[in-house]
Chain A
Amino acid sequence: MDIATFAFAALYQFADAFAFLVLSACGLAVIFGMMGVINLAHGEFIMCGAYVTATAVHAGLPLPLAILAGALVSAVVGMLVEFVVVRHLYERPLDTIVATWGLSLIATQGTLIVIGSTMAGVGTPFGSFQVGAYSYSIYRIVLFLAALGVLGSLYALFNWTSFGVKARATIQVPHMADALGVDTRWIYSLTFACGAGLAGLAGGLYAPTMTLVPTMGATFLMEAFVTVVIGGADVFLGTAPAAAVLAVVKSVMTSWQGQLFGQIGLLVAVIIVVRVLPKGISGFLLRERT
């Protein structure tokens, strides 16, 4: 293999890992960064997005619209969950973990009962292209672009819109924002819906690449956790760089020893990073800045 094809293969692996980490983590990161709540039902929102996307495709909707439908349905479900459960637990962050875990059990098992152990999947679109001796899926490139697109639109949302300004005010000093007339409950609710919607989007985007089973959320969960733990509370200064660093670790380990060792590499990385940077990359960057 000459240098160019090798470099391309490495780059492709990196982009693939990066996209997976960003897409699976950003929903979790938005909710955690904004409200300090870890949503353990995150994987089930991903599953929800994937199932809705597949159903919509089977009903005849084109794939991009189906993915959007998946994201929207997840967002609506997320808002409902926030209203019924999470809203009452903001003062007890540990209890939100426990409660959302209960929800995750209900959702996984409920899906198993209602829909059954598998669901007809969606074919991967776009086919593949050839570089050197290997062929690559075009859809993986689309996923990478989608990850960049999600990061870009989140940046735009939180920096350039009135919702973003209010949301950031709410994270910084909730009661002050409240006093200035921001409906903080509504902001929390929207933020949770946004995080759930992003999870649904990840599910929809990955629906064509994997088998649809009720426990599929767990496949994303570890990567999402690891990225958020290493990234810390800030989506842009944390999640994106964390995903970049972890993508290197994961793609190197994967091409060296296989997929499982890619995941073990992630886990070891996270355990070492929490020892060195307890507040994550964003905590480190923010401390350096001030």
Chain B
Amino acid sequence: MNGLISLFRRLEGPQTKGRGLLFWSVFMVALIGAIAYPMFSDGYTVGNTAYFFVWVFIALSLCLIWGYGGALSFGQTAFFGIAGYSYGILTLNFGAAYGFTLVAVLAAVAIAAVVALLLGYFMFFGRIEGVFLGIVTLAVTLMLERFMAQTAGPDWRIGAARLNGFNGMSGMPPITIPWFDGPIVLFADVGLYYLILALVVVVYLGLRILVNSSFGNVIVAIRENPERAEMLGYDIRKYQLINFVIGAGLAGLSGVLYTAWGQYITPSSMGMTSAALPLIWVAVGGRSDLTSTLVGTLVVLAGFQALTIYGSQYALVVMGLLLVLTVLIAPNGLVLGAMNVIGRLVARAKGGRN
């Protein structure tokens, strides 16, 4: 019980913005709004909203690795793809009976994490840092896309699952929960929305606890000054590697949910453009804070979607412009900047009363 209470105390801390009654009231209002939302909307729209939430995990993973850990990884999209393809291959082979899709979700995330462990071992124990880390991870991502794109033809199959080259895999079963009176199949509808919403809340709160724990403090210390962290006796390679693997798992979760949501996955979901998008959400939102990343991701995604209606080819140009301008003008991110201003105003209001 005491352990649980101290765990909850970690929800607030030096590494996360937002504390106190006001912040958590806003959080609860937002959460209740999100829970009540399907009652005021139709299944199709709710399914589309679930699609936005799918991307939150990969954004948070980048926030953790890049924003908190200071290691710019372009590999998140690779882990996204690996997990997505793994889910497809597993479920196409073993079907959806007996709750196997849930096992497949876990297995796919685990596969992404293991790949990250291997890659991360070579990178962090080779002590490459800064820009090189970005390049190596990007090279891995591009390579994976090229590899999957050429897997057309009947030779490329794993069991019953054909990889289908550039067209990608499709037709895998959605997530299915076994239940007493028949299994519940979560199509891109209200059911899947609630599952993903629950995961978002759990992951968000879990990450808040993680980054405010001693592990999170060490990660931030490494970002601020790797030599100093090492002098203090931490094996920074291990911390970076663990952080990288956690991030890869989260990116993998996005990939699995994406595949289960639309029942397809293609190699272009690992391409240059797909790798750029999470970066844009996180950079625009505010990479060094979980809440800013979460809000920024949803806002930018919604904006992107709105732009796409008017012309998808222009939407990407706008996104690129947004990224360049954010880096030049507000390097900490727009949402984080706004939250800092609000925090200052609240503090001033309190100061005025005293």
* Chain A residues close to B by CB (< 8 Å): 32, 36-38, 40, 85, 88-89, 92-95, 97-99, 101-106, 108-110, 112-113, 215, 218, 221-222, 225-226, 228-229, 260, 263-264, 267, 270-272, 274-276, 278
Contacts and interface: CB of A to CB of B under 8 A. Distances in A.
B283 to A, nearest CB: 6
Contact of B136 (A36, A112, A218, A270): A270
B323 to A, nearest CB: 3
B138 A225 contact: yes
Contacts of A103: 320, 324
Interface stretch (B26-34, B141-149, B179-187, B250-258): B141-149
B321 A102 contact: yes
B240 to A, nearest CB: 14
Contact of B135 (A113, A225, A272, A278): A225
B178 interface: no
Contacts of B314: 109, 113
A93 B128 contact: no
B107 interface: no
A109 B320 contact: yes
Contacts of B139: 222, 225-226, 229, 267, 270
Contact of A105 (B130, B138, B147, B276): B276
Interface stretch (B119-127, B166-174, B228-236, B299-307): B119-127
A229 B321 contact: no
Given A94-B130, A263-B143, A267-B139, A109 B328 contact: no
B150 interface: yes
Nearest to B123: A274
Contacts of A229: 128, 132, 135-136, 139
B203 interface: no
B316 A109 contact: yes
A106 B324 contact: yes
B131 A38 contact: yes
Q: For chain B, which range describes its interface: under 10, 10 to 19, 20 to 34, or 35 or more residues?
A: 35 or more
Interface of B: 70, 72, 119, 122-123, 125-128, 130-132, 134-136, 138-140, 142-143, 146-147, 150, 272-273, 276, 279-280, 283, 313-314, 316-317, 319-324, 327-328, 331
13 contacts: A32-B131, A38-B134, A95-B327, A98-B327, A102-B322, A105-B317, A106-B324, A221-B142, A229-B128, A229-B136, A263-B143, A271-B123, A271-B136
Given A36-B131, A113-B317, 19 more contacts: A40-B138, A85-B324, A92-B331, A95-B327, A97-B131, A97-B134, A98-B283, A98-B323, A104-B320, A105-B319, A105-B320, A106-B321, A110-B317, A222-B139, A229-B128, A229-B139, A271-B136, A274-B128, A275-B126
A265 B291 CA distance: 41
A88 B328 contact: yes
B147 A260 contact: yes
A270 B143 CA distance: 12
Contacts of B327: 89, 95, 98-99, 102
A215 B321 CA distance: 18
A93 B131 contact: yes
Contact of B131 (A94, A104, A221, A260): A94
Nearest to A93: B131
Nearest to B118: A271
Contact of A272 (B122, B125, B127): B122
A267 B323 CA distance: 28
Contacts of B70: 94
Contacts of B317: 105-106, 109-110, 113
Nearest to B71: A94
